Copies of this chain bind each other. A is one copy, B any other.
Amino acid sequence: MIFSSELIKGTLKTILLKLLADNQKMYGYEITQRVKELTAGRIQLTEGALYPTLHALEEEGLVTTEVEYMGKRVRKYYRLSDTGMTRKDEKVNEFADFVATMKILLDIEVKPA
């Protein structure tokens, strides 16, 4: 099952911040692949959603960027800033609380990871 995009809405930034917190630096394409891999294909980030969001994180000062050349190919790395790290914690905690609340509303059991 691939999750409906509506569900992923609102969690994209959180996912990106968490990935960058765990991996020092990542580039766009790498992120799409990592997410696909970690979720067994259930979440597939589209570039149309990913790049605008990465740029927004940069504008907010949550990530910094650095360009590297692999041969002639450009690779733009994104790295979490200190503010970004703080924001990541906030976002992840907020999501955990949200899920706890939704469990009450929907009366669901969440399978352990």
Contacts and interface: CB of A to CB of B under 8 A. Distances in A.
A100 B103 CA distance: 12
B105 A38 contact: yes
Contacts of A108: 92, 95-96, 99
A11 interface: yes
A10 B1 contact: no
Given A9-B6, A10-B7, A103 B113 contact: yes
A42 to B, nearest CB: 5
B102 A106 contact: no
A56 interface: no
Contacts of A111: 96, 100
Interface in A1-37: 1, 3-11, 14-15, 18-19, 35
Tell me which of A4, A43, A104, A106 has the highest count of chain B C-beta atoms within 10 A of its own C-beta.
A106
Contacts of A18: 105-107
Contacts of A69: none
